[in-house]
Structure formats: structure tokens, C-alpha cells
Chain A
């Protein structure tokens, strides 16, 4: 029997039991849609996180205190450490050094109050982190030297306190009860939750050290952000910084009391985490595809029993084992292929819906449906149909014509 014809016959027989075929297909539809949607959302999250990390700046190294536990007298990072890194002889690959402290505080103005992230920085922080302002100016060297009580507001903070995101320069806010003059307003970057870059205020490092973020060691900083001259220079810069700090902290070889993170490390870690997440989600979804496959097998077995006489007749008329086999495999793979196609459409709709919900809640995840995941889902659902159709088809093909014809 020709293959095209067996597809037509298969379609006819599926159409004969519309409700049953539809329910069987539904199992595959849900499975494939789940796989497609989960992979798309996973990838969307991945690209969002990657984008966020890249948005921090380029070619950055993050130096933090704390490292090997073998160090007997670990020293914290200080402003002096940061200044040492700016030495262009000791660290020629470094073009920017931005020491900073982090904390949180309560900002009040005009009776409104909001709690926010507090970043204490030096002027270098601006170029290193690509800080952009809608109005006003960034923290200057003079502000740092004079420990000025000035602050740059994030747009969310400004909105919270003043109900507007323009013309706030010159206003006065209180941070933990102390007055600060607003000198600038950050450009909105979007985002929400722990990655919200809009809900923060930036103050001069020295001002914070003396008034807001008191640390046990004077001149201590939480982190030093270092910008390398180029992406190729990142490993070199990392080496140079480490050498400087080892000299200054007098630590033994192989026992650093600091840790240098590469931006690429963050990217890799984030990619690994979201990759695992995507595989996990996809795996869970694949289980529903498996269940759909079992549904196909179940219905095909019922169909074989129901049509025992028909199989007997076909054999009496000269159908070979292979002909019967092809007939039933055509049916099961058609069920799964149909389910696969509908599932891709449904999965795409779900992805779009998830994207819309995420956008509405400021999460900004754009689901990405790759050609590979569509191909994967199609091939996988076909394979499911063939695999789970194989046993029923073989059972049908192996029926003895005499017995099959006698079957009531």
C-alpha cells in the first residue's frame, strides 16, 4: 500500500472517532505546549538576567573582602587599597577604580517616607557603572573631599517622595534623619524586586562613612569595582589587582583575604543557574509529553481491539504484516504530529501571555521561542507517537487472520 494513501486512511479513521482523537491529541498538545512555553520562558529569563548583568557596565571586576579561610589576620578592603589600584604602573590594565559601600536607609521628605538601597560611591563610579542622569550632576571629587550632604535619587524614590520624576534637584530629603540636598536624578532602568535599579539613592562615600554606614574599621569599603581597559585585559587586570592587594595585605601565597569576581563569572553563573532552571522546567514539561504518549498508546490499544475484525478482513484480502503495521503507525504518528503542531501554537500563545503578564508586573521577561525548541518538540512528539504506537501496531499486525475474523 502506498504511504500517502495510508495517511489518508489513518486520517479517515481518526475522523471517525472525533472526540476520542481530540482527547488523545489534547494530551500531546499540553505536553508540547508545556515544553515550548517552559523553554521559552526559561530562555527569556536567561536573556533578562544576562542583560541585567551586562547593564552593570562592561569589563568589570568586583573585588570583595574575604577569601581563603587559611588567612590568619584577614584585612578588610579600604579606600587606600582602591587608591593603590589606580597606580598605572602597578596596574596598567585598569582604567577605572570605584570603591563603594552598600546599605539601606529610610528616606523622608515632605512627610513621605520610603526605605531604599543606599550606595556610597566616589566620582569614578559614574563612568564605571554607566550611570546616567535625567537632571542634575553626579557626585564630584569636591563632594567626597568635603563630605557633602548631597544625594542622587533613583526615579522610584523621587516618585515616592515627591510624586514626580523631574525638577527634584535642589529639594532636601532626610536619610536616617539627616538632611541631604538632592543634586541629581537617575535615568529609569526598569526592573523589579531585588534587581530594581530605580529604587536606590547614591551618596558620596566619605559622607556615608562618617554619617550613615559606620564600619568598625575606618576607611573600610564593601567592594571595589574595577574596570579593565578591554575585555581581553580583564584577566590581566585581575592579576594586577591581586598582586597589589597581596602586597598591601601581606598575605601568604595561595591564601588571599579578598576575592576578585569577574563579570564573566557572574554571567557564567547566571547562565548555569538559568540553564538548569530551563532544563528542569523543560524536564517537568517533558513528563507531561510522556503522559500524552501513554494516552496515545492506550487509545491505540483500544482501537486495535475494536478493529480486530477489520484487521482480520484486511489480512484475508491480502494485507501483509507490514501493511497493518504502517496503517496503525500512521494513525498514532498522525495523532502526535497533530498534537505537536497544535502544541507549538498553544505554547507560543502561553509564552506571549507570560511575557505580557511579566511586562505588566515590571519583570520584563521576554519569552524566546527558538527554532530548535520547535523542531525538538515536533520531532519528540513524532517520536512519542511512533514509539508508543509501535506496540499496538505490532499487536495488530501479529493477529492471526483466522482468530481476528472470528472475533466478536
Chain B
């Protein structure tokens, strides 16, 4: 089997000379899981670059390695081999606590199931990343501004079960934004919403990109969602599928 040479490798050389502002720079990522005796190759030498301010969607059938790529880019997991630079910082070799720190400062997560803390007010939910960042000064104020930015300035003290699905996802967006991350990783952000509020959430995410230049990566299997992003990356068998 001839080794697969990533087509971006020369582009990457060129990128340095072009001084592109890269948020994500992943080279030759592999990820191998052991399922009992069987080794599962979830990523097979995948390389990817994401520029600051880009809007990108990652698509792919289940089992394609899409989730593994998301977890790796989101610093939730380490690749088995390969290099990953996030804002120029090498992440692939970091220990658990360093990864936690990178997630806290540089990655804003948005989940399909919102993942808000029950019995905790919207404000406290949004404050959570600030707490883990050990930022005590006007934490409440920063969180309040983030909630106002997503149009929930009047719902600060509401608990998640007192909010609609769309509102809950907006709280999650505020939480993702509150630490000014390098990029937002949204995993099926509209998957649990009706089409109207799903559309609202998509528009809000795209607007954040337009107005604030927030880098956005959306993992989805919905082509309608993917169509609305400028760049679509399709994963198949742990590699980026040729267009």
C-alpha cells in the first residue's frame, strides 16, 4: 500500500510564506482505538487547516471519523500520532490539565443536547467557563453581557427547564463565547430543535461570524446546514474525501 501523501503539505509550506492567520493547523492526524482485539482506525493521516474567521462545516456518515476529528480538534482527546497546532500551540503532546486549560481558553463548545447544568440559572451556566479560568473579577458582568449578546438579557435567572430549546441553545452559545475562544465547535447545534428555532440558531452563529469574526466549525450530517457555510469538509474513512 502506497502511503497517502496529504495534498495540503505543499500548501502548508506556502502558507508560512503567505502569512495566513491559521487557527487550526493539523497534519497527518491518526487515531487508533482498541476495541478488544480489534484496532479501529478512526483517523488515517488527516490534515486540515482552518483560518481565522472561517466558517466551516464537517460532514460525513456515521463511523467516518467525524466525531473523532471533532474531539481531537476540540482538544477533548489526543491524536495517536500527527501534529496539531492550535493558535500555533502544539496540542498533541499536552497532558490532561494543559488540555483542560486549552479547552477553557481557546475552544467554545456547542452541543446537540445543549448540555446546560440543570437547576442552575442561565447566568451561572454562562459563568462556568470563567470560573474554571479562575477569573473572579466581574464574572457576573461578563456573563450578563454574553447573554445579552444572544438576546437573553431578560432571562438571566431562568433555569434551563424554564427556557425553550432555542433559548437553551442560545445560553449555550453565550457560554461558548464568554471566554473569547479561538474557535467555536458546534456539534449538530440544530439537531434537537424544530426548524424555526434551528434556523434562528444558525442565523445567530453566522451573524456572530459576520459581526465579530468568530471562527466557526459546525459538525453536521444535514446538507441544508452545510450549504450555509462557505467551506464544507467531508470525512470518509478517516480522511478528507476528495471533492
Contacts and interface: CB of A to CB of B under 8 A. Distances in A.
A160 interface: no
Nearest to B128: A317
Interface in B84-107: 96-97, 100-101, 103-105
B104 A317 contact: yes
A318 B175 contact: no
B132 A323 contact: yes
Nearest to B176: A317
Nearest to B134: A1
A317 B71 CA distance: 13
A309 B120 CA distance: 15
A204 to B, nearest CB: 84
Q: Chain A CB within 10 Å — which of B76, B128, B136 has the most?
A: B76
B97 A318 contact: no
Contacts of A310: 117
A316 B109 contact: yes
Interface string B107-137: 0010100010101100000001101111010
A402 B101 contact: no
A405 B74 CA distance: 13
A12 B119 contact: yes
Interface residues of A, number: 22
Contact of B96 (A2, A314, A320, A402): A320
Contact of B101 (A1, A309, A320): A320
Nearest to A13: B119
Nearest to A5: B131
Interface in B169-183: 175, 179
Q: Chain B CB within 10 Å — which of A315, A321, A322 has the most?
A: A315
A62 to B, nearest CB: 71
B49 interface: no
A316 B76 contact: yes
B237 interface: no
A320 B94 CA distance: 13
Interface residues of B, number: 26
Contact of B117 (A1, A313, A322): A313
B83 interface: no
Interface string A281-311: 0000000000000000000000000000110
A401 B78 CA distance: 11
A319 interface: yes
A95 B96 CA distance: 82
B76 A405 contact: yes
A401 B76 contact: yes
Contact of B100 (A12, A318, A405): A318
Interface in A309-353: 309-310, 313-323
B77 interface: yes
A321 B97 contact: yes
A402 B77 contact: yes
A394 to B, nearest CB: 13
Nearest to B129: A317
Contacts of A12: 119-120
A401 B74 CA distance: 11
Nearest to B133: A318
B132 A317 contact: yes
Contact of A1 (B76, B96, B132, B175): B132
Enumerate the 9 nearest inter-chain pairs by beta-carbon distance, A residue then B residue, closest first.
A318-B104, A318-B132, A320-B100, A313-B115, A401-B76, A320-B97, A317-B129, A402-B71, A402-B76
Given A1-B132, A2-B134, A318-B105, 15 more contacts: A16-B119, A314-B128, A316-B103, A317-B103, A317-B104, A318-B103, A318-B104, A318-B129, A318-B132, A319-B100, A320-B97, A321-B97, A402-B71, A405-B111, A405-B115
10 contacts: A16-B119, A314-B128, A314-B132, A315-B76, A317-B128, A318-B105, A320-B100, A401-B76, A402-B76, A405-B111
